[in-house]
Amino acid sequence: MGTRFEPKGRIGRFVHEFEETAIAVLLGLMTLLAFVNVVLRYAFNSSLIWSLEVILILFSWLVIFGVSYAFKITSHLGVDAVTNLLPDRGKRICALLAGAVTIAYAFLLLKGSWDYWAPFAALDRTSGQWFPTGWENTRDQAWYVTDQVPPLRWLFGWLEPLINQGEVYEKMPRVVPYFILPFGSALILFRVVQAVVAVARGTRSSLIVSHEAEDEVAEAAETLKRQGA
Amino acid sequence: ACDDGEIVVKFSHVTNTDRHPKGIAAALLAERVNAEMDGTMCMEIFPNSTLYTDEQVLEAMLQGDVQLAAPSLSLFEPITKVFQVFDLPFMFKDINAVDAYQSSEDGQALLDSMQRRGLQGLGFWHNGMKQMSASVPLELPTDANGLKFRVQPSDVLVAQMEAIGASPQPMAFAEVYGALQTGVVDGQENTWSNIHGQKFFEVQDGITETNHGIIDYLVVAPVDWLDSLDADVRDQFLTILNEVTEARNSESTRVNEEAKEQILAAGGVVRQLTPEQRAAWVEAMKPVWAQFAEGIGQDVIDAAASYSN
Amino acid sequence: MEVVLLFVMIVGLLLLGVPIAVSLGFSSIVFLLAFSDTSLASIAQSFYQAMAGHYTLLAIPFFILASSFMSTGGVARRIIRFSIACVGHFRGGLAIAGVFACMMFAALSGSSPATVVAIGTIVIAAMKQAGYTKEFAAGVICNAGTLGILIPPSIVMVVYASATDVSVGRMFLAGVIPGLLAGFMLMVAIYIIAVKRNMPKGDFAGWAEVGASFRGAFWGLMLIAIIMLGIYGIPGVTGAIFTPTEAAAVASVYAFIVAMFVYRDIGPLAAKPAQSVGAAVAEGMDAPMGTPKSLLSHPQALITAFFHRDTRDTLLDAGKLTITLMFIIANALILKHVLTDEQIPQSIANAMLGAGLGPVTFLIMVNVILLIGGQFMEPSGLLVIVAPLVFPIAIELGIDPIHLGIIMVVNMEIGMITPPVGLNLFVTSGVAGMSMMAVVKAALPFLGVLFIFLIMVTYIPAISTWLPTLVMGPELIIK
Ligand code: NA
Ligand code: NA
C-alpha cells in the first residue's frame, strides 16, 4: 500500500499525463458549467437550457473513463482484512482469483457496453447471453438524439451521411455521449489484464486499497515519523 | 410473481400506484390482464421510477428489456416531432377536444408514427389540462415577465415560456418543490392532480386556471415484441388495454376536479381568467405555433385545431 | 432462495479481495443472466445512467472538489488554531479543541476519512507534545472524525437523498442539530475523563488571539455560510439562490478562489511550491507559511491560476476520489436495478409487514443490518443497497424519511469505528502509526458515547426533524 504509481518510459509518461489531465479537465468543466448557470440565472435571469444535460454527460464521462485509470494506479476500494491474515502465498492466490473475477466482470461489461452502444452507431450487436457468439441483426437507432445538446455539426456532421441516411441531426445524436461506454469498458479490461499480469509476475500485490485516503495517510505518517513525533 | 410459460410484460412507470391518474390506470390494467389472461400473460408493474425513469425507458424498450411504458408526450421529441402538437399552447379548448382529436382518424394515425423507429403507440392516457402558478399573482402574460419557470425539457415549452418573457429553467422534477419553496425558481406549469400531489400550491402565490396546454401520456410497446405475440393473445391484450384507456380517461376530468377542490380546501388560491385576460395569454403564446409548424406539419396542426373551433 | 445466494456471493468476493464495486457488479450480472432474460446491455445502461440519470449525485464530485481545495495547505491549520484559542484552556483542552476542529472541518468537507486525515495528523502530534498519551489522542480524533458525514455537507446524505427522493436540503438541515449534539457529547465526555485523570490544560491566549485566529480561519469558515445561506436563503431578506447541487458547485469555485487568491497556499501566488496535502498538513501548526506574492504585483495570476499545476492536481485528487466512490455507487445501483427487476424489495417489504413488524423492532433491525453491512462496505455503496430495501417499509410504518436518513447516517458513523473493519480505524491507525487493535481499544470509551447518541437519535425523532420543519415547513411525503 501507499506506493504512488510511477509511469515508465516516454509513452507511459505521456499516457499518464493525458489521463490525469483529462480527469482534471472533465471535473473542471462540470464545475464551471454548473457555476455559470447559477450566475446566468441569478444575475442575468437566463439559462443555458442544455447545460444540465451536458454536465451529466461530462459526469458519466469522468467516471467511466476514470475507472480504468483508477485500476492502473490501484486506487479502487476493497476489503483486505481477511486476505491480510494469510501468508504471502495465500495472499497471492487470493489476489489472482480476485483478478480473474475482475477480468470476467470487465469482459461482461465490455460486451454489454458494445451491445448497448452499437445500435446508436447503426452497428450490429453481438449475439449470445454471456459470450459473444456472433453478430445479431439489430434495429438501427442512429436517429436517436439527445434531449437538448446542440448538434455541433461542424464537429459531428460527418456522422449524418455515415449512419443517419443523410438526415440532418438537429440535436447531438446519442451515439456521441454513449461512446464512452465501449471505449471506457475496453480501457477497463485492458488495465485490469495489465494489473493481473503484474500480480502474477509479483510486481504488484493486489488490485485494491482498503480506504480512500491511503496515499494521504501514508504520506502524513511518514512526515510525522520524520519529525520524530 | 409470474408462472412459467406465461408471457411476462414489464410495465415501467414513474408515478405512485394509487393516486396518480397514470398509476391508477396501470394498476387497473395489470389487475385485468393478470385475472383475465392468467396462464397466458403476466404483467409486472414497476412504479415510482424504481426500474427506469421516463428518460431511460424508451431505450430499454428498444433493447427489449421492458415491454410497456407510458411516458409523457414531450419525451417523444427526440423520436418524432409530431407529438409536439400536444405541447402547443392553447391548441385544445378542453379535454373533450383532446379526446375528439385523439379518437379521430388523424389522431389514431399518430399512434403509428414511430413504427419505423420500432415503437407502437397503443393509446393516449390523460393526465389533464395544464395550469400555471408562480410566486406572484398571474393574471396577464406580462405578470410572468422576468420570472423563472421550471419546464419539462421540451423545445415547445421552452419557446412558450420565452414567448411570455419568462426564463425557462431545466430542473429535475424531484427538485421542483424545494426550488419553488426556497425561491430558486418562481413558477411552474402542471395539471391539477400534479399540483395537488406534489403540493406545489403550498409554495406558490396561487394557481391560475389557464388550461393552456395538456399533459398526456402515450402507452407504447416495442413493435418487435407485439409482432412476436400470437394474434389472439395480442387482440385480447389490446382489447383490455383499450377498455382500461376509455374507462380511466373518462375519469380524468373528475380526478383533476377533485384535486382542484382539495387544493381549495387546503387553503390554496385558484384564480380564474376573464375572457379578456385569457385572450391576452392566447395572443402572447400563439406565435409559438408558427415556430414549430414545419417540424410538426401544418396539416397535423390544422387537424388538431379543428376540434376546438 | 436465490437472493441469499446473491448476497453470499457478494460477501465472498469482498473477502477474497475483489474491489467492492466489482463484487457488487459481477454478482449482479451473474444473478441477472442466470435468473432472467434481461440483456447485458441493460447493465451498461445502468452504469451510464448511474451518473447521467442521477442529478442529485452530481453534488458528490462538487463537494469533494470544494473539500479538496479547502484541505490543500493551511485551512485545517487555521481552523485548529482558532479552536485551540477558543477551548484550549479547559482541562483536556487540546482534545476538546480537536473535536471542535473536527466539527468545523466537517462543515467544509463531506467525508469522514478526509476529516481525520486533515485534523488528526496535526492534532494527534500536538497532543503528544502537550503530554497526552497517543492512545487518548487517537481515540478522540477517530470518533470526532466521523462527524464528517453527519454535519452537512455530507456525501452519505446526498446518496440517501438520491436513493429515496427526499430533499437534499432537508437532509442537510436535519444533520445540523445531531451533529452539534454529538460533538458536544464527545466534548463533555472528554472533559469528564480529563478532570478524573488530571490531564493537561493550556493557557488562555486571550481574546486577541481568538480574534486573530478567527480572522485567519474566516475565509474557510465562510464556505459554510455560503452553502447554508445559498440553499436556504436569509429569512426575510432573500430567497434561496441555488439548489443543493448548485451550492456544491459554487462552493468549489469559492474554495478555489480562497485557496488561490486569499490564502495563497497553492497556485501562482503561493510563497513556496505546494506540497502534497498529507505533507502540508503534517508539518503542523508551526510550519512556516512564508509570505505569499501579492495579486497586485502578479495580476497575470488571475489567468494562470486556472492552468496552474496545483489546480490540475487538486482537480485530479478530487476526480480520483469521485471516480472510486461513483464506481461503487454505480455498481450498487446495478445491484439495486437487478433486485428491482426481480421484485425483491417488494417481496421483502410484504414479508416483513405481513409478519406484523412494529416500528421499534424495525429500527433495531435497520441498526443491526447497517452495523453488520458497514463492516464490508463503503458507506455510500451500502446506503444505495439498503435504502431501497427498507424505505418502503419505513413509510408503511409511518417513520419519517428524514428521521430514517439521520439514523442511517449515525449507524454509518458507528460502523466506521467498530472492528474488524472501520474506515476511520484504518485511517487513524495509519495517521497515528498505531496498530488497528490499539486504535480500537482507544476509541472504545467514545464509541460508548456515540452508541448512547444513536439510541437518542433513533427514539427522539425531533432531534432530526425539528430544524428542517422550522426552516422549510412540514415535509412532503409523496410515496
Ligand atoms: Na460534512
Ligand atoms: Na465497522
pLDDT, tens digit (0-9, with 9 covering 90-100), for A115-129: 999 999 999 999 988
- In angstroms, the Cα distances linking C477 to B47, B200, B255, C164, C390 are 16, 13, 20, 11, 16
**pLDDT value of position A31:** 96
Query: Does residue C99 lie within any of the structural domains?
Result: yes
Phi, psi dihedral angles at A92 (to 5 degrees): -65, -40
Strand partners, B9: B43
Handedness of CA A159, A161, A163, A165 (dihedral sign): positive
* Amino acid symbol at A55: I
Instruction: Give the chain B residue nearest A169 (alpha carbons).
Output: B78
Beta carbons of B51 and C341 less than 8 Å apart = yes
d(CA B90, CA B113) in angstroms, rounded, equals 23
At C273, the pLDDT band (50, 70, 90 cuts) reads low
Task: Give yes or no for a contact between C13 and A100, defined as CB atoms under 8 angstroms apart.
Answer: no
Question: Secondary structure of A104-144 in the HEC alphabet?
Answer: HHHHHHHHHHHHHHHHHHCCCEEECCCCCCEEECCCCCCCC
- Domain region containing A108: 9-209
Query: Is A220 inside any structural domain?
Result: no
Of the CA atoms within 13 Å of residue C386, those in its CB half-sphere come to 27
Domain range enclosing C260: 58-274+293-315
d(CA A90, CA A84): 9
The SS3 of residue A2 is: coil
Domain count, chain C: 1
Going by C-beta distance under 8 Å and a sequence separation of 6 or more, which residues neighbour residue B182?
A: C169, C231, C232, C233, C239, C240, C472
Q: Do C52 and A177 touch (CB under 8 A)?
A: yes
SS3 at position A123: coil
Confidence tier at A228 by pLDDT (50, 70, 90): low
**Which stretches of chain B sit within 8 Å of chain C by CB?**
1, 16, 44, 46, 48, 50-51, 53, 55-56, 59-60, 63-65, 171-172, 174-175, 177-179, 181-184, 197-199, 202-203
Residue A222, in any domain of the structure: no
- Could you tell me which residue, C114 or C195, shows the higher pLDDT? C195
Q: Quick check: C289 pLDDT over 50?
A: yes
In a domain, C65, yes or no: yes
What per-residue confidence (pLDDT) applies to B199? 84
Residues 6+ apart with CB under 8 A from C361: none
- Residue C267 makes CB contacts below 8 A (sequence gap 6+) with C259, C260, C261, C274, C301, C305, C308, C310, C311
Q: Which residues pair with B222 in a beta bridge?
A: B119
Phi, psi (5° rounding) for residue B17?
A: -105, -10
Give me the helix-helix angle, B155-163 and B287-296, nearest 10°.
160
Residue A227 falls inside a structural domain:
no
pLDDT tier, C43 (very low <50, low <70, confident <90, very high otherwise): very high
pLDDT on residue B138: 94
Closest by CA position to B193, among listed B142, B254, B248: B254
Classify A213 in phi/psi space as left (phi over 0), alpha (psi -120 to 50) or beta. Answer: alpha
Strands A125-127 and B187-191: unpaired
Whole-number Å distance between alpha carbons of B23 and B255: 12
| Cα radius of gyration rounded to whole Å, chain A | 22
In the predicted model, what is the mean pLDDT of chain C?
Answer: 85
Does the CB of B118 have a partner CB in chain A at under 8 Å? Answer: yes
The answer to whether A47 contacts B59, with C-beta atoms less than 8 Å apart, is no
pLDDT per residue as tens, chain B (309 positions): 788 889 999 999 888 777 788 888 999 999 999 999 998 999 999 887 888 888 889 999 998 899 999 998 888 888 888 999 999 999 999 999 999 999 999 999 999 999 989 999 999 999 899 999 999 999 999 999 989 999 887 889 999 999 999 998 877 776 788 888 888 899 999 999 889 888 899 889 999 999 999 999 999 999 999 999 999 999 999 999 999 999 888 888 888 899 999 999 988 899 999 999 999 999 999 999 999 999 999 999 999 999 987
Neighbours of A123 (CB within 10 A): 16
pLDDT band, residue A81 (cuts 50/70/90): confident
At which residue does the C-alpha cell 445531531 appear? C178
**Which ligand is nearest the CA of C447, by number?**
2
Mean pLDDT value of segment A28-43: 91
Please identify which residue in the block is written with the cell numbers 376530468: B253
- How far out from the chain centre does Cα C82 lie? 22
Give which of A206, A210, A152 is closest to A177, Cα–Cα.
Answer: A152
Q: Are the Cβ atoms of B50 and C345 closer than 8 angstroms?
A: yes
* Centroid of chain to Cα B124: 9
Q: How do beta strands B7-12 and B41-46 pair?
A: parallel
Q: Is the dihedral of CA A166, A170, A173, A174 positive or negative?
A: negative
Q: What pLDDT is attached to residue C73? A: 56
Per-residue model confidence as pLDDT tens digits over C185-237: 999 999 999 899 888 887 887 888 889 889 888 988 888 888 888 888 776 67
Return the residue of B nearest to A50 by Cα. B170
Torsion of CA A13, A17, A23, A24, to 10 degrees: 150
Q: Which ligand is nearest to the CA of C379?
A: 2
First to last CA, chain C: 29
Least confident piece of the model among A202-216, C9-23, C174-188, C451-465: A202-216
Is the Cβ–Cβ distance between C329 and C159 less than 8 Å? yes
Cα distance from C427 to chain A (closest Cα, Å)? 7
Map residue C238 onto helix, strand or coil. strand
Domain annotation covers residue C463? no
Instruction: Report helix, strand or coil for A171.
Output: coil
Do C387 and C160 touch, CB atoms closer than 8 A? yes
Domain assignment of residue C284, yes or no = no
pLDDT number for residue A229? 46
Least CB–CB distance from C39: residue in B46, B65, B199 = B65
The answer to whether residue C257 scores a pLDDT higher than 60 is yes
Question: CB contact, 8 Å: C53 with chain B?
Answer: yes
Split into its structural domains, chain A has a count of 1
| Per-residue CA distances from C392 to A64, A69, B54, C145, C346 (Å) | 31, 38, 21, 31, 8
Query: At a CB cut-off of 8 Å and minimum separation 6, what does C94 contact?
Result: C84, C88, C123, C126, C127, C130, C132, C200, C202
Q: What is the pLDDT of residue C274?
A: 46
Determine the number of helices (DSSP H) and then strands (DSSP E) in chain C: 23, 0
Q: Give me the helices (H) in C72-154, please.
A: 75-87, 93-106, 112-115, 121-129, 134-144
Residue A27 lies in a domain: yes
- In A, minimum Cα distance to C374 occurs at A79
Instruction: Give the length of chain B.
Output: 309
Residue B167: which of A47, A139, A147 has the nearest Cβ?
A47
Nearest ligand by distance to the CA of C146: 1
- Tally the residues of chain A: 229
Nearest-angstrom CA–CA distance, C164 and C406: 13
Q: Which of A3-12, B270-279, C382-391 has the highest mean pLDDT?
A: B270-279
What confidence score (pLDDT) does residue C415 get? 84
Q: What is the dihedral of CA C328, C334, C339, C343, to 10 degrees?
A: 140
The whole-angstrom separation of Cα C431 and Cα C417 is 15
Ligand 2 ion local residues (Cβ < 5 A): C 374-375, 415, 418, 421-422
Burial letters C308-328, b for 16+ CB under 10 A, else e: bebbbbbbbbbbbbbbbbbbb
Facing residues of B121 across strands? B220
Cβ of B170 within 8 Å of Cβ of A52? The answer is: yes
> Does A190 reach chain B within 8 Å, measured CB to CB?
no
What pLDDT is attached to residue C283? 52
3-state secondary structure C189-210: HHHHHHHHHCCCECCCCCHHHH
pLDDT at residue A3 tops 60? no
From chain B, pick out residues whose CB is under 8 angstroms from the CB of C241: 184
The β-bridge partners of B68 are B11
* Amino acid at site A162: L
User: What's the rounded Cα separation, in Å, for the pair C334 and C14?
Assistant: 17
Which chain C residues are closer than 8 Å to A104 by Cβ? 26
**Is the sign of the CA dihedral A193, A199, A203, A206 positive or negative?**
positive
**All cell numbers assigned to B17:** 400506484
With a cut of 70, say whether residue A10 has pLDDT above it. yes
| C79 assigned to some structural domain | yes
Question: Is C469 part of any domain?
Answer: no
**pLDDT at residue A224 in the model:** 67
Question: Which residue of chain C is at minimal alpha-carbon distance from B194?
Answer: C478
What are the φ/ψ torsions at residue B169 (nearest 5 degrees)?
-120, 130
Q: Cα-flanking dihedrals φ and ψ of residue B108, to 5°?
A: -65, -30
Q: pLDDT at residue C6 above 80?
A: yes
B56 touches chain A (CB under 8 A): no
What is the gyration radius of the CA atoms in chain B, in angstroms?
19
Query: Comparing C-alpha atoms, which of A185, A180, A188, A181 is closest to residue A70?
Result: A188
Euclidean distance between CA atoms C462 and C459, whole angstroms: 9
Q: Is residue C78 part of a domain?
A: yes
Q: What pLDDT, on the 0 to 100 scale, is given for residue C187?
A: 93
For residue A141, pLDDT over 70 is answered with yes
pLDDT of residue C50: 92
In the three-class reduction of DSSP (H, G, I as helix; E, B as strand; rest coil), residue A204 is classed as coil
Q: Which amino acid is at C161?
A: A
pLDDT at A77 over 60: yes
For residue C277, what pLDDT is reported?
47
Q: How far is the CA of C433 from the centre of ligand 1 (A)?
A: 25
pTM, two decimal places: 0.89
What's the pLDDT score for residue A113?
97
Q: Which residue's entry shows cell 411552474? A: B188
ipTM of this complex prediction, to 2 decimal places: 0.89
Question: Which cell is A97 given?
Answer: 482469483
Q: Is residue C63 part of a domain?
A: yes
Chain A neighbours, 3+ Cβ pairs < 8 A: B, C
Q: Is residue A108 part of a domain?
A: yes
At B4, phi and psi to the nearest 5?
Answer: -65, 145
Q: Cβ(C33)–Cβ(A105) under 8 Å?
A: no
- Please tell me the distance from the alpha carbon of residue B10 to that of residue B27, in angstroms, as a whole number: 12
Count of A-C CB contacts under 8 Å: 273
Roughly what angle, to the nearest 10 degrees, separates helices C155-164 and C309-341?
A: 30
